[in-house]
Amino acid sequence: MTVAPDAEQRREAMVEDWWASYAEGEDALMVAKRNVEVERLNATARELLRSEGRLGSGEIEVGGASFAAGDQVITRVNERAADIYNRERWQVAEVDPERGRVVLEGIDQPRRVEVGPDYLGRTALNGDAPALQHAYAVTTYCAQGTTVDRAFVMADPSMDKQEFYVATSRSREETRLYATPEIQAERTEYAPTRSERGAISHIAEAAERDRGQTAAHDAALRAELAKLPTEQLAKRSVELGVSASAEGGQEAAYDHQVRAVEERREQYASAIAHREKVEGLGWRERRQKLPHATENERLYGERLAEERAKLEPMRQPTSEARLEHQVAEQLLATRQAQSLTALGVDPPPYIVKELGERPSDPAKGRAWDSGANAIEDYRRGHGIEDKRSAIGHEPKGNAERWAWKTASRRLEEAQRSLRLERQLARTRQLVRSAARGIGIEL
């Protein structure tokens, strides 16, 4: 375990050790509880890869972040027709900025997919997560289900038993912990600390866990949700999505305030160091500079106290709704895959009317699957039972109309792809016929 004197040196130590493993070709991953820490770790890691020439020159922007060939990413939006799911890790193989397309090579599962603007423009959890995120570091929540060669874990004193267990059980070979002492440098009159604990003690508190209870809880949750009919499970997933989004918002607000406290703490520590340096000067310089240094120390101490006062009443965010939402989504994905297989074998008339029979060609089949998924998702989520119409008439309510238009757009995209393929096939046939007419066999 590495105990660093402050948060910045802890991040530096994590990235340095991660890079030593990653550069050797090992499957290495950094894990932290808070999004703010994950963002900083990813930014530092990506700068390192760029300086080592491991990233391509062409870049595409998704959710405010840049991605290039060579980047390691995580998908956050499910696209069942393309076999893409939330929290899967990928390597960016190719980037086409002009067409807005990215080719991904699976890390967790060996497969290759291409995604375009339609996928990359989508978000998860009501806009809280873009379709792609960097994945040199991930949150404890996103690390669930991932297994790597080596894991580098930022030990956070606020981690609970389940989070600590998830974070420390991701590696096949080695897990390293990184912590800072929970003894703050600021003076108590400005920013009284809640407690003064060493790094070992606060990690030990989080590590007091019952693994059997954690596993049993997960199994019980999955079993409970699995009992629900698909329609009820889909409704429950929507409800959980709202709660999960609220959790994400709370976490963002909490992380923002933690960052504000950390910045003020660093400023205050610098002010203390400067004042101590001035006190070591000769008496003339000390008399000239010490009042200003002391005043700066007082001001930064007060500002730190203000930020800590804002943080004090804030509830630490949980991930319960997000975890339950993820289980519901996984169950729905499994059921939809089974349903899609059945649809391809014996599609109902309303699907055949819109898309025809499922083509045997893989590319056409994926387009057909996307359209069929759009139809079934909408019908299941909105109680459509009309066997003659795929998604019914446009509803009147704003939310319902938005969902209907989204389903219509997905269906039209599939139809365009299928018509394009059919048109190309007809064109090729016409060319062959014309060639035969003049004695040329193509």
Q: Is 334 helix (H, G, I), strand (E, B) or coil?
A: helix
Cα separation, 426 vs 442, in Å, equals 15
| Whether residue 30 is found in the same domain as residue 53 | yes
Q: How many structural domains does the chain have?
A: 3
Residue 283 lies in a domain: yes
CATH number of the domain where residue 191 is located: 3.40.50
> Stretch 138-144: mean pLDDT, rounded?
85
Q: Which residues contact 63 (CB under 8 A, 6 or more apart)?
A: 123, 129, 130, 131, 132, 133
Residue 317 lies in a domain: no
| Whether residue 387 is found in the same domain as residue 407 | yes
Q: What's the pLDDT at 146? A: 83
CA-closest candidate to residue 134, choices 43, 207, 60:
43
Q: Which of 311, 335, 366 is the last residue of a domain?
A: 311
| Whether residue 300 is found in the same domain as residue 180 | no
Q: Which of 187, 209, 231 is the last residue of a domain?
A: 209
Residue 125 lies in a domain: yes
| Whether residue 379 is found in the same domain as residue 294 | no
Structural domain including 377 reads 347-437
Q: Is the pLDDT of residue 232 over 70?
A: yes
In this structure, what are the phi and psi dihedrals at residue 96, rounded to the nearest 5 degrees? -120, 90
| Whether residue 195 is found in the same domain as residue 84 | yes
Residue 333 lies in a domain: no
Q: What's the pLDDT at 190? A: 40
Residue 339 lies in a domain: no
CA distances from 211 to 147, 207, 286, 315, 371 (A): 17, 10, 58, 26, 43
Q: Which residues contact 150 (CB under 8 A, 6 or more apart)?
A: 21, 26, 27, 28, 29, 171, 173, 174, 175, 176
Q: Which of 311, 337, 355 is the last residue of a domain?
A: 311
Residue 228 lies in a domain: yes
Residue 198 is classified by DSSP as -
Q: How far is CA 421 from the centre of its chain?
A: 34
Residue 165 lies in a domain: yes
Three-class DSSP labels, 108-134: CCCCEEEECHHHHCCEECCCCEECEEE
| Whether residue 138 is found in the same domain as residue 246 | no
- Scan for tokens 């939809």, then name that residue: 336
| Whether residue 73 is found in the same domain as residue 160 | yes
Residue 69 is classified by DSSP as T
| Whether residue 278 is found in the same domain as residue 233 | yes
CA-closest candidate to residue 237, choices 127, 145, 324, 318:
324
pLDDT tens for each residue of 327-383: 888 888 788 777 777 888 888 889 988 888 888 888 788 888 888 888 887 887 777
| Whether residue 272 is found in the same domain as residue 406 | no
| Whether residue 196 is found in the same domain as residue 246 | no
| Whether residue 191 is found in the same domain as residue 49 | yes
Cα separation, 393 vs 373, in Å, equals 18
**Half-sphere exposure of residue 37: CA atoms within 13 angstroms, side-chain side:** 27
- Identify the H or E element spanning 33: none
| Whether residue 74 is found in the same domain as residue 186 | yes
> Stretch 282-301: mean pLDDT, rounded?
93
pLDDT tens for each residue of 167-206: 778 888 889 999 887 533 333 444 444 343 444 555 555 4
Query: What percent of the chain is modeled with pLDDT above 70?
Result: 84
Q: pLDDT category, 75, cuts 50, 70, 90?
A: very high
Cα separation, 167 vs 140, in Å, equals 6
Residue 334 lies in a domain: no
